[in-house]
Amino acid sequence: MDTLNLALWQCPYAPGTAEALARLDATAARARAQGAALLVCPEMSLTGYQIGSDGVAALAEPADGPLAQAVAAIAQRHGIAIVYGYPEHNAPGEKPYNAAQCITADGQRVANYRKTHLFGDIDRAQFSPGDAAPAVFAWNGWQLGLLVCYDIEFPEPARGLALQGADAILVPTANMIAFDEVQRVLLPARALENRVFVAYANACGQEGETTYGGLSTVCGPTGSVQAQGGRNEELLLVALSHGDLRPARDTSPLRDRRTDLYDPLSR
C-alpha cells in the first residue's frame, strides 16, 4: 500500500488494566471509523508507567499473555492494527522489560521490542534494559520499526532501523512536560537524518506527581512536522505516503557515510 493511514492516541493513563482495555476498545473503533489502519498508543499504555517496581512485576506477562490476547481481540473486532506498551516478563529474579508490541488487524503478533535505553531512576528501578537492537518488520507494504520513548533521543537506534530499510519508526512514549525539546528538535532531526517517518505517541495528563507533555508528533522524511497534538487527550490522524520517501531518499546523506571512521564511536 502506498499510503499508511496512521492514528496516534495521546491519552492519560487509566487507573487499571480493565479500564485501559475498555478505553483502547473505544479508541480503536473511533480510529478505524476515521480511516486509520494502524493505531499507536503511549509507552506502557495498558498498565501505567510510574507504577513502581512491585506494580510492574505484578502486571508483567509474556508477549502472548492475557493483555496481548485482549488487544488481539480488539484489533480483530475493529479491523485495525495496534501498537501498545506493556511490561514483559523477564527471567526469574530479573526486572521485567519495558516493551512495545504490534498486533495486526487479524490478531497476529508481528513485532515485539524491549526498550534498550532506560531513563533515569524511574526506568532503572522498574525495568531491565532490552539486550537486542531494534529490528524492522514488514506490514502492509511498509517497513516499520519500534522504539520506546528515550530510545529516539539517541542517534544509533533510529540509524540502525534506517540501515535495515525502515520507512517509518513508531515510538510509544511517556515524555514529561519539561522535555519538549524532544518533539521540537530531536524528532525532526531523526526523521531528516535518516529519511524516514517518525511517529511519536505521547501520554498526557497526570500520573502521581508527574505531568506528561502530550505534543504527539509525526515527522516526514525531510524533517517537516506533518501533524502534532496539543497538551490534552486527542486522536491524531495522519496519512504517510511512500511518495514522500522517494524524493527525500534521492538526496539522502546515508550513501556518503564514512563507516571506516566510526568504530571509535561505539566504544
pLDDT in tens, 236-257: 999 999 999 999 999 999 999 9
Q: How far is CA 221 from the centre of its chain?
A: 17
> In terms of C-beta density within 10 A (0-12 exposed, 13-18 middle, 19 or more buried), how is residue 249 classed?
middle
- Is 19 catalytic? The answer is no
- Residue from 11, 41, 43, 153 carrying the catalytic annotation: 43
- Is 95 catalytic? The answer is no
pLDDT at 199: 99
SS3 156: helix
Q: What is the DSSP letter of 15?
A: S
Inter-CA distances, 242 with 160, 247, 263, Å: 20, 10, 33
- Residue from 149, 153, 207, 219 carrying the catalytic annotation: 149
138 Cβ neighbours under 8 A, 6+ residues apart: 144
Q: Which residues face 84 on adjacent strands?
A: 101
- Is 43 catalytic? The answer is yes
Residue 117 has pLDDT above 90, yes or no: yes
Domain residue extents for the chain:
3-252
Cβ(85)–Cβ(111) below 8 Å: no
- Domain 3-252 class, CATH top level: alpha beta
Given pLDDT bands bounded at 50, 70 and 90, which one contains residue 263?
confident
Distance CA 112, CA 203 (A): 20
Helix 155-163, helix 187-194: angle, nearest 10: 30
- Residue from 102, 115, 204, 219 carrying the catalytic annotation: 115
Given pLDDT bands bounded at 50, 70 and 90, which one contains residue 266?
confident
What's the chain's average pLDDT?
Answer: 97
State pTM to two decimals: 0.98
